[in-house]
Structure 1
Amino acid sequence: MDLHVRYEGDDDPKKCTAKKLDRFDLAALHRSDRATPYGVVLNPHAEKALSPADKDSGALVALDCSWESAGEAMFSLPGEHRALPYLVAANPVNFGRPMQLTTVEALAAALVIFGAKEHAEEILSKFNWGHTFLELNEEPLRRYSECEDSTEIIEIQQEYLDRAE
């Protein structure tokens, strides 16, 4: 699956996971909405959860921007917008925080849910903490990847949300 990132460039370039993916030719960066291809857009504000049913929708698109500017209006990209289910960050800045994923973590999570775990491992291998993301989220990612659709994803996600409270 082709990985694309709508790149805002408002984070520290030394810590930017999207820039690193681009350097290794693992994802294409796009500076405008128009240049970004149509596909599944990872959007935390989407009304529908990402599920294996979305895997044939073309490209996988993430938005790389600062969490401070990641409001709903930023997600104006064309495509099928989907929210990732409950997962925990492994990146050094947000380690252990739910739903505070870097761009590479979001893309890797989607790939695992789509049944492309090896592709997820490949992109995470460029980060010394990358394997930790898969280890921390091994059970939920496995369960999400076994779902049929968004409805099943939401049911499983609710179990993790109930535990987190």
Structure 2
Amino acid sequence: MTADTDDADTADRTYALHVRYEGDDDPAKCTARKLAKFDLADLHRSDRETPYGVVLNPHAERALSPADADTANVVALDCSWESAGEAMFSLPGDHRALPYLVAANPVNFGRPMQLTTVEAVAAALCIFGEDDHAERILSKFTWGHTFLELNEEPLRRYAACADSTEVVEIQQEYLDRGE
């Protein structure tokens, strides 16, 4: 493959979005249900039903980076933050933690690392260089554009990293600043 072919493959990549859905949040506020309603993500009621992919897991040992972009599936777990313990993340796949980002959703606005399912998936898409796809899924939420605005700089910087180590180094800058 030539460099031109690699660029074309990346530019044409589409990610299937999958959510392991627990159903323990208020259905009216559930971002995963809204994504499914608009055919932007598939909900799965069991681990076995959920396809293999990059699993967004806040307990993972490695940070998500552009090096993980060769997957076909981005998988999130939709559950209450109260029940989001490490045991809940038994999904098959390559588990990755999102780096430092700030929530824009009305429930957790301004809180670091308290993202909704749609914010987490959109962040992964941005880190993979799929900003248009992220904008498309966030457009279904009145506050969706605010997530991208609040996190514009860190998402751009994370997307420019080569691997998880570089993402963690950049994340540490934000943590050190107390942002």
Equivalent residue for 2:76? 62
String of CA shifts for 1:68-117, please: whole Å, max 9, x gaps.
00000000000000000000000000000000000000000000000000
Matched to 2:58, the amino acid is P
Match in the other structure for 1:143: 157
Shift of 1:58: 2.2
Residues 1:15 and 2:29 aligned together? yes
Match of 2:54, SS state, is strand
User: What per-residue deviation string (whole Å, max 9, x for no partner) do you get for residues 99-144 of structure 1?
Assistant: 0000000000000000000000000000000000000000000000
1:107 counterpart = 2:121? yes
SS in 2 for 1:50: coil
1:71 aligns with one of 60, 85, 89: 85
Tell me which structure has the larger Cα radius of gyration.
2
TM-score (norm 1): 0.99
Whichever residue aligns with residue 125 of structure 1, its letter is S
Match of 2:171 among 116, 141, 157: 157
Please, which runs of 5 or more residues in structure 1 have no aligned partner?
none
Distance 2:170 2:131 in 1: 20
Equivalent of residue 86 in structure 1, options 87, 93, 100: 100
Q: Percent identity?
A: 83
Q: How many residues align?
A: 165
Q: Residue 106 of structure 2: SS of its match in structure 1?
A: coil
Name the structure 1 match of 2:148: 134
1:77 is matched by which residue type in structure 2? Answer: L
TM-score (norm 2): 0.91
Q: What does residue 55 of structure 2 align with?
A: 41
1:57 deviates by 2.0
Distance in 1, matches of 2:44 and 2:176, equals: 37
Alignment-derived partner of residue 4 in structure 2: none
**Structure 2, unaligned runs of 5 or more:** 1-14
Which amino acid in 1 is paired with 2:104? A
Secondary structure in 1 matching 2:40: coil
How far does residue 164 in structure 1 lie from its aligned partner after superposition? 1.1
Cα separation, 2, equivalents of 1:74 and 1:100 = 17
